[in-house]
Structure 1
Amino acid sequence: MKTRERIIVTSLALFNQFGEPNVTTLQIADEMDISPGNLYYHYKNKTEILSELFNRYESQMMELLDVPEVEISLEDQWLFLHLVFEKIAEFRFLYQDLVNVLSKHPKIANRFKRILDKKLTASITILSSLQQQRLLEATDQEIKATCHSIVLTITYWISYEMVSRGADGDAIDLGKGVFQVMSLMVPYLRNDARTHFQEMSTTYL
């Protein structure tokens, strides 16, 4: 692995472990056992490292959230959520200290808001598909409100887990997060779909 890529991999691990504001470029260089000058040759400062990490997160997340307008099953929704939670966990430093990180980096803040908007659009697309298949019975207003709750839960689940259970970032139970989000849909699922959801829950958790 080339030095430039090692810097990114090491920075991501340290940011996730200690929080981005608590990690310096000197610590990154020390962890890699390279000189600060070698690090600065590739990245002039920590902001450039953060920008590269966010570029990768943004690209991967936006691709994941590009949900096609086709028939989507409950299994598809479950898998979609799991993939989203996995990506958030991979770049969890963004979510662990969200307000602080975004307040210091306004350019990233604007792009992160677009990701939130994309999460909302993807959720509405999925729930609308379930509605059209008569698996879910809800008004358009109820779907939109539920999707806002879905985005809220997805965005803050890692922080909630870490605070409520004292969980280490690597020990966060993503399955519970997926289940919690899916549970938001339960009041609107029709009988057969609700039974199917309960069966999936038993095997998944």
Structure 2
Amino acid sequence: MKTRDRILACALELFNEQGEPNVTTLEIANELNISPGNLYYHFKGKEALLEALLEAFLEHTRGLLRVEAMPDELEPEDYWLFLHLLLEAIITYRFLFQDLSNLMGRHTFIQRAMRQWLQALRQSLEHLLHSLQRSGALTLDDDSLLWLLDNQSQTLLFWFDYQRIAYGDEQADPVQAVIQVMSPLQPYLASPAQEWWAMLILRYRRQV
């Protein structure tokens, strides 16, 4: 692995474990057993590291949030897969979500990028919820759909921080997160989808 990639991997691990504000570039250099000058050669300070990791997260999720590539009709299993992939990315870059308001307040580039990301997330969720409607899997009015959109957006943004505070990082289970995000849909699912949901929950509970 190239030195630059090693630095990014180490920074990501330490930011996730300790929180970005609690990690210095010196600690990253010491963890990698390289000189601070070597780290500085690749990244001119911690802000440059943050920019690179933020871009990596955005690139990781960019394909998932492309509305133009999404189907017009959708089954619940497809929505489950979408959420699972998205939450895996959020868990991988969870330092961004551990104290998002703080990060956005201290770094304008994070504020700008994450607001754009949230807008893309909401557009994607809205499209997918409408796709579930069109397929007949979801039966609800427009007001309820907007409520679900807000509910799911908030859960995706803040679920991990709640889990970290309540239970610690070891509870960062994307399956549990997907269930949490999808649960408000349950009353609006059509009969076949209700059966699928019941079997899914039963299978998950047998595994934990």
Normalised by the length of structure 2, the TM-score is 0.93
Sequence identity, in percent? 38
1:52 positional shift: 0.4
Could you list the per-position Cα deviations for residues 57-79 of structure 1 after superposition, in whole angstroms to 9, with x for gaps in the alignment?
A: 01111221224133211111111
The whole-number CA distance in structure 2 between the counterparts of 1:171 and 1:150 is 20
Give the aligned partner of residue 32 of structure 2: 32
User: What runs of 5+ residues in structure 1 fail to find an aligned partner?
Assistant: none
Match of 1:156 among 133, 148, 158: 158
In the TM superposition, structure 1's runs of 4+ consecutive aligned residues that sit over 3 Å from their partners are none
Cα RMSD of the aligned pairs, angstroms, is: 1.2
For residues 36-185 of structure 1, the aligned pairs below 5 Å read: 36-67=36-67, 68-165=70-167, 167=168, 169-185=169-185
Amino acid at match of 1:129: S
User: What runs of 5+ residues in structure 2 fail to find an aligned partner?
Assistant: none
1:171 positional shift: 3.7
CA contact (8 A) 2:97 2:158 kept: yes
- 2:136 aligned counterpart, secondary structure: coil
How many pairs are equivalent? 203
1:170 positional shift: 4.4
The whole-number CA distance in structure 2 between the counterparts of 1:20 and 1:180 is 26
CA contact (8 A) 2:80 2:178 kept: yes
Amino acid at match of 1:121: Q
Normalised by the length of structure 1, the TM-score is 0.94
**Which segment drifts farther, 2-11 or 183-192?**
183-192
The whole-number CA distance in structure 2 between the counterparts of 1:56 and 1:126 is 24
- 1:193 aligned counterpart, secondary structure: helix
Amino acid at match of 2:15: F
1:204 positional shift: 3.5
